Amino acid sequence: MANEQQKREVGEEEEQVVNPWEVTAKDGGKIDYDKLIEKFGCQRLDRSLVDRVERLTDRPAHVFLRRGVFFAHRDFNEILDVYERGEKFYLYTGRGPSSEALHLGHLVPFMFTNVFYENMVKVAKCVTFNKVVGIFGFTQEDHIGKISFPPVQAVPSFPSSFPHLFPGKDQLRCLIPCAIDQDPYFRMTRDVAPRIGYQKPALIESSFFPALQGETGKMSASDPNSAIYVTDSSKDIKNKVNRYAFSGGQDSIENHRKYGANLEVDIPVKYLNFFLEDDAELEHIKKEYGAGRMLTGEVKKCLIQVLSELVERHRQARAAVTDEMVDAFMAVRPLPNMFS
């Protein structure tokens, strides 16, 4: 039975590969998110949940919720139940960029959102090699560090991993905002949690921030031409957007005026969907560009302005951080009781 399941997953991976280490669409196409929901067994984050967020918080939902950037979830409705009862939960997210500088895709969890040894041992004892092979597709060629890492990523899901923050709150719920490629880690975690006495973590999962060249994968910090870094200058941003950002516009102005742009593949529009705050302005751009009344150069110019302002705000905030502030933040010290 396990072999049949692995064969089915291999067949699916021939079409597209989505796991914590690799994201590749089939034959240069787009990532099929509907297929990922079906394969991973998570749920679609629909409008009813977004409406409930707005009702409970009495404010418009975050742009990433309104525009479907976060499109899937596991038990997010239960986290909303917790919030509605006036109870607390905590967020678990993280960053592990593969280069010295963050790129724009790393900002998504930020904008939306002691030692783990004992819990790591508990998780590791509950997960067999056959189990992780089925979830992650490990092979005999994978190194032991890769195979042993899932428990490390799992344990911040459990409040007992933070006894100085959550003393006596072992049943506190955890919400994890992450991209969909991280789902396998927490599918494993959710399976283990009840067996070691903890609540299952809930997830809210985003689509990928695409590379400049197109939606065949996600932006990579290790490929400088696929990414815009938060350390890039306005000149760098202008050059990268104009040279590398894949356009859905037509091959001539005449054809563009006649047929309009293909918004489904246009990277500048997709980036604006992430970072242009004004819903009305975004819809205006989509309407005019899709109808051919706005040209690719005009859309790229708008994107360059939005990204330059975003990166400049980040640069100023980063420049204001002193060594003394970093030392104080990282110092070993008692942290406040979150429930006092």
What domains can you pick out in the chain, each with its CATH number? 2-206 (3.40.50.620), 234-317 (1.10.240.10)
Structure tokens at 10: 């291999």
Look at residue 281 and tell me whether its pLDDT is greater than 70: yes
Give residue 12's pLDDT.
47
Question: Quick one: what percent of the chain has pLDDT higher than 70?
Answer: 84
Kindly give, in sequence order, each residue whose CB lies less than 8 Å from that of residue 139, ignoring residues fewer than 6 positions away.
Answer: none
Element containing residue 317 per DSSP (H, E): helix 296-319
By the 8 A CB rule, do 98 and 222 touch? yes
Distances (CA, A) of 153 to 161, 179, 184, 279: 12, 14, 11, 36
Task: State how far the Cα of 163 lies from the Cα of 88, in Å rounded to an integer.
Answer: 16
pTM: 0.79
Amino acid at position 120, single letter: M
The pair of structure tokens assigned to 88 is: 């607390």
- The whole-number average pLDDT for the span 268-296 is 96
Buried b (16+ CB within 10 A) or exposed e, 91-130: ebeeeeeeeeebbbbbbbbeebeeebeebbebbeebbeee
| Predicted local confidence at residue 113, as pLDDT | 42
Contact at 8 Å (CB) between 115 and 163? Answer: no
Please give the residue that has the higher pLDDT: either 304 or 2.
304
Mean of the pLDDT values across residues 79-102?
Answer: 81
Render pLDDT for 94-125 as a digit per residue (tens, 0 to 9).
Answer: 766 555 666 676 666 566 444 456 777 888 88
User: What is the distance of C-alpha 294 from the center of its chain?
Assistant: 30
Over 70: is that where the pLDDT of 51 sits? Answer: yes
pLDDT > 50? residue 207: yes
